[in-house]
């Protein structure tokens, strides 16, 4: 077995394994775009004797506070624990983060070997389970509502999304500029916000919250229904999202809108604080 840095050329031959890890066909153009200038230092893959890619590890810095890492090991191969451990160790010895920085891995909850190895290697100071919810859309194409992408300022977007996780005004501004924020207003005030991503077949809802002072007034429902309309207009087959299993109001909310959980897509996240 051989560990090697992922370079741009290597990345180009990784579409299959990246798609297996993601659970959908990834766009190699998008992957190349994510490949930052520092990536070659901390993105690694491991090959078997025949050159086959057995697994990989890579991280995406979200902001100064946290990074999201991806670790995937092919199923049904020998020595999965040893391969996981080798990748984690090379990653650990070559990657540094500022003090207090949180590194998070999202791993299929069913992959016991990788989950256990992350624990053994000290990457699980904080663990949690993510449930995966999705809702299929019918074939009808709806007209796109004209106010769908009407936006508030970054400060209001950050304030609403803070109900979920801390969001800075700069981050909110970046998402507004990338046209990934959707929202609902009440009397001119921004009261519910979502951040969405588009893939070939689906829309992913990445962040979703109603302002704390405006709960249980139907604003989240209105926003999600707008997202369904937009997804249908973009010919998407489904809308999906991940939610922490402790967020009971959100789980009730998603179920009330027809989302169902795919238990086989449950993930355990592991966090390490530097």
Ligand X SMILES: CC(C)(COP(=O)(O)OP(=O)(O)OC[C@H]1O[C@@H](n2cnc3c(N)ncnc32)[C@H](O)[C@@H]1OP(=O)(O)O)[C@@H](O)C(=O)NCCC(=O)NCCS
Residues that bind ligand X in the complex, under the rule CB under 6 A: 163-164, 192, 208-210, 215-221, 241, 243, 247, 249-250, 252-253, 256
CB of 19 to ligand X, least distance (A): 24
CB of 117 to ligand X, least distance (A): 28
Comparing CB distances to ligand X, the nearer of 137 and 167 is 167
Q: What is the dihedral of CA 87, 93, 96, 97, to 10 degrees?
A: 60
Specify burial of residue 271 (Cβ count, 10 A radius: 0-12, 13-18, 19+): middle
From residue 131, alpha-carbon distances to 75, 112, 196, 259 in Å are 21, 17, 17, 11
DSSP, residue by residue, 78-93: S-HHHHHHHHHHHHHH
CB of 221 to ligand X, least distance (A): 4
CB of 232 to ligand X, least distance (A): 20
Comparing CB distances to ligand X, the nearer of 122 and 218 is 218
CB of 209 to ligand X, least distance (A): 4
Specify burial of residue 30 (Cβ count, 10 A radius: 0-12, 13-18, 19+): exposed
Comparing CB distances to ligand X, the nearer of 23 and 218 is 218
Separation CA 31–CA 20 (nearest Å): 14
Comparing CB distances to ligand X, the nearer of 116 and 147 is 147
CB of 107 to ligand X, least distance (A): 18
Comparing CB distances to ligand X, the nearer of 164 and 233 is 164
Cα 27 to its chain centre, rounded Å, is 15
Task: Give the Cβ contact number of residue 146 at 10 Å.
Answer: 7
3-state secondary structure of 118: helix
3-state secondary structure of 62: coil
Separation CA 108–CA 241 (nearest Å): 15
Comparing CB distances to ligand X, the nearer of 105 and 208 is 208
């Amino acid at each position: 077995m051989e560990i090697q840095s992922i370079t741009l050329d290597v990345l180009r031959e990784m579409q299959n394994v990246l798609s297996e890890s993601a659970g959908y066909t990834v766009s190699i153009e998008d992957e190349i775009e994510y490949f930052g200038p520092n990536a070659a230092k901390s993105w690694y893959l491991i090959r078997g004797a025949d050159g086959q890619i057995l697994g990989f590890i890579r991280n995406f810095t979200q902001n100064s506070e946290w990074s999201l890492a991806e670790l995937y090991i092919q199923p049904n191969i020998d020595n999965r624990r040893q391969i996981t451990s080798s990748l984690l160790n090379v990653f650990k010895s070559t990657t540094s983060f500022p003090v207090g920085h949180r590194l998070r891995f999202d791993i299929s909850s069913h992959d016991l070997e990788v989950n256990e190895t992350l624990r053994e290697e000290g990457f699980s100071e904080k663990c949690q389970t993510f449930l995966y919810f999705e809702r299929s859309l019918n074939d009808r194409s709806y007209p796109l509502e004209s106010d769908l992408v009407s936006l508030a300022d970054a400060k209001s977007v950050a304030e609403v999304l803070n109900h979920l996780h801390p969001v800075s005004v700069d981050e909110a501004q970046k998402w507004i500029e990338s046209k990934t924020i959707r929202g609902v207003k009440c009397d001119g005030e921004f009261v519910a916000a979502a951040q969405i991503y588009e893939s070939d077949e689906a829309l992913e809802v990445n962040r979703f919250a109603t302002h704390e002072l405006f709960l249980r007034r139907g604003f989240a429902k209105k926003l999600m229904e707008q997202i369904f309309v937009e997804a249908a207009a973009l010919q998407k087959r489904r809308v999906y999202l991940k939610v922490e299993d402790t967020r009971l109001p959100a789980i009730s909310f998603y179920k009330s809108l027809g989302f169902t959980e795919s238990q086989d897509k449950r993930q355990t996240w592991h966090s390490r604080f530097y």
